[in-house]
């Protein structure tokens, strides 16, 4: 149940409740996560897509997310 004052993020993947104590950190990470998504989108927008190329883009995205997750 959604309560007044709840901070929500919603997109095509679903909705998540963001705790207020990490709201600033979450907002600061948005540009970094958009950059990760750009890896996938850039690949998908190309005309020479291959299964190997897709696997490489997915690996690059996973590595980028891991760098975000373990940052200070």
For the stretch 37-71, pLDDT in tens is 999 899 989 888 888 998 999 999 999 888 887 76
**What is the Cα–Cα distance from 54 to 51, expressed in whole angstroms?**
5
Does the pTM exceed 0.75?
Answer: no
- Model confidence pLDDT, tens digit, residues 1-44: 899 999 999 989 899 999 999 999 888 888 988 999 999 899 98
pLDDT at 71: 61
User: What are the extents of the domains in the chain?
Assistant: 23-69
Output the pLDDT for position 14. Answer: 95
DSSP string, 12-48: TTEEEEEPGGGHHHHHHHHHHHHHHHHHHHHHHHSS-
pLDDT on residue 72: 56
């Amino acid at each position: 149940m959604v309560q007044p004052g709840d901070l929500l993020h919603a997109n095509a993947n679903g909705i998540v409740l963001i705790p207020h104590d990490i709201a600033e950190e979450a907002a600061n990470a948005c540009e970094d996560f958009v950059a990760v998504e750009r890896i996938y989108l850039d690949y998908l927008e190309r005309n020479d897509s291959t299964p190997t190329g897709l696997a490489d883009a997915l690996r690059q995205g996973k590595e980028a997310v891991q760098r975000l997750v373990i940052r200070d």
